[in-house]
């Protein structure tokens, strides 16, 4: 039986209970106390905390995210650190949540209802959860790989109004435990699966008066699909641009879905782009297509999700077009093998 400790988050009114084998972040989110976080795997550093009082165990916190010097100064990663005593902690940069309503982290069970090939080595997976999951567009969940008790992270592609049927886009990684070994292997419609969520802070920040540009590569489209549906339903932005990049037509998916949305909403613009195959749509690297389409992005915001090289190129392109860095939001894209 694990010991429990009390953790006070500086600036919040309530204390939370954290088991000795539980991360501070996990306990906080389950108690619906928001703490900044992104990857929940120790790689991004978004969850860095200062331990003002008490002792923590750093567990597998990597040196490149939390240096020896930072540990000596009393810093810790909320997603990795577990308590060795009662604690007082303070998130670096504060625990502000931008006024976005937050929903508690929970464990869920559900049934696979859709499993279909939608692009090259890409599947759509829909899971009907037994109890509704409340989340923000852009967040992700962890699917628990059966028999291994490890989680793999996938963004929710369904809008937040759809709380029971959760949609994921999954790219095959050859030899990957969750993809090759499960979702592209023995998984079948009707299977029961476990998941936990919601997680992450890749959300549309409400910019009522300026346009938003969403740029996705591969299955980086998933959180953008959720954000598009949410933004259109709630009329959150005056102009909304969605770019989806691939090499060949076989890499794109949901083209008809987004074309139909663009027909219905004149302020929504959908621009799929191919870099290696001629077709009747935009040609070239998706970030070059963005550069060609805009002479200035001043005042606009952007939401990026895809392979790191694409995200880096997009950030560069948007800065060249005078978009403020603070209005460029990116989802850390990890291959969920």
Residue 215 in contact with ligand FES, rule: CB under 6 A: no
Rounded to a whole number of angstroms, the minimum distance from the CB of residue 66 to ligand FES is 8
Distances (CA, A) of 281 to 244, 273, 286, 308: 11, 6, 12, 24
Rounded to a whole number of angstroms, the minimum distance from the CB of residue 202 to ligand FES is 12
Residue 28 in contact with ligand FES, rule: CB under 6 A: no
Residue 29 in contact with ligand FES, rule: CB under 6 A: no
**Interacting span for ligand FES (CB under 6 A) from 35-43, 134-142, 154-162, 307-315:** 35-43
**Interacting span for ligand FES (CB under 6 A) from 33-41, 50-58, 259-267, 303-311:** 33-41
Query: What is the spatial distance between Cα 78 and Cα 296, in angstroms, rounded to a whole number?
Result: 39
Query: What is the spatial distance between Cα 86 and Cα 5, in angstroms, rounded to a whole number?
Result: 5
Residue 162 contacts by C-beta under 8 Å, 6 or more apart in sequence?
none
Rounded to a whole number of angstroms, the minimum distance from the CB of residue 97 to ligand FES is 15
Q: At what angle do helices 308-320 and 286-293 cross, to 10 degrees?
A: 10
**Which of 35/291 has CB closer to ligand FES?**
35
Pairing of strands 165-171, 122-129: antiparallel
* From candidates 7, 31, 37, 127, binder to ligand FES by CB under 6 A: 37
Note the Cα 110 to chain centre separation in Å.
20
Residue 38 in contact with ligand FES, rule: CB under 6 A: yes
Given a contact cutoff of 8 angstroms between Cβ atoms, the answer to whether 76 and 68 are in contact is no
**Which of 81/195 has CB closer to ligand FES?**
81
**Which of 42/151 has CB closer to ligand FES?**
42
**Which of 26/251 has CB closer to ligand FES?**
26
Q: Please, which residues bridge with residue 111 across strands? A: 128, 192
**Interacting span for ligand FES (CB under 6 A) from 38-46, 203-211, 298-306, 317-325:** 38-46
Tokens (6 digits) for 85: 């005593």
Distances (CA, A) of 41 to 151, 152, 168, 200: 10, 10, 20, 11
Measure the N-to-C terminal CA separation of the chain; round to a whole number of Å. Answer: 32
**Which of 23/229 has CB closer to ligand FES?**
23
Residue 63 contacts by C-beta under 8 Å, 6 or more apart in sequence?
none
**Which of 79/286 has CB closer to ligand FES?**
79
Residue 272 in contact with ligand FES, rule: CB under 6 A: no
Q: Which of residues 41-100 bind ligand FES (CB under 6 A)?
A: 42-47, 65, 77-79
Rounded to a whole number of angstroms, the minimum distance from the CB of residue 64 to ligand FES is 11
**Count of residues near ligand FES by CB under 6 A:** 14
Q: Quick one: DSSP state of residue 51?
A: E
Distances (CA, A) of 102 to 99, 144, 232: 9, 23, 20
* From candidates 9, 16, 39, 274, binder to ligand FES by CB under 6 A: 39
**Which of 79/224 has CB closer to ligand FES?**
79
- Residues at the contact surface with ligand FES, assessed by CB under 6 A: 37-40, 42-47, 65, 77-79
């Amino acid at each position: 039986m694990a010991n429990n400790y009390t953790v006070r988050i500086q600036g919040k009114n309530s204390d939370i209970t954290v088991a000795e084998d539980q991360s501070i972040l996990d306990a906080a989110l389950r108690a619906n106390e928001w703490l900044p976080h992104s990857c929940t795997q120790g790689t991004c550093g978004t969850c860095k905390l200062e331990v003002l009082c008490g002792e923590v165990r750093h567990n597998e916190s990597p040196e490149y995210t939390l240096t020896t010097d930072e540990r000596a100064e009393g810093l810790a990663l909320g997603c990795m650190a577990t308590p060795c005593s009662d604690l007082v902690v303070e998130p670096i940069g504060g625990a502000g949540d931008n006024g976005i309503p937050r929903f508690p982290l929970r464990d869920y069970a559900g049934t696979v209802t859709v499993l279909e090939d939608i692009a090259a080595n890409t599947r759509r997976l829909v899971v009907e959860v037994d109890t509704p999951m409340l989340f923000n567009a852009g967040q992700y969940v962890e699917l628990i790989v059966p028999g291994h008790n490890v989680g793999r992270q996938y963004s929710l592609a369904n809008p937040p109004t759809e709380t029971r049927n959760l949609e994921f886009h999954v790219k095959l990684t050859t030899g990957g435990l969750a993809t090759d070994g499960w979702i592209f292997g023995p998984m079948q419609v009707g299977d029961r699966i476990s998941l936990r969520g919601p997680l992450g802070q890749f959300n549309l920040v409400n910019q009522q008066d300026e346009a938003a540009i969403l740029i996705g590569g591969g299955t980086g489209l998933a959180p953008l699909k959720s954000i598009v549906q949410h933004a259109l339903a709630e009329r959150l932005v005056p102009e909304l641009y969605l770019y989806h990049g691939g090499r060949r037509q076989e890499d794109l998916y949901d083209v008809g879905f987004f074309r139909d949305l663009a027909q219905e909403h004149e302020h929504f613009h959908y621009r799929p782009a191919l870099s290696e195959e001629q077709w009747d749509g935009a040609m070239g690297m998706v970030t070059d297509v963005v550069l060609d389409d805009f002479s200035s992005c001043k005042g606009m915001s952007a939401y990026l999700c895809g392979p790191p090289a694409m995200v880096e190129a997009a950030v560069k392109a948007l800065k060249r077009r005078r978009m403020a860095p603070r209005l460029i939001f990116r989802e850390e894209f990890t291959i969920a093998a």
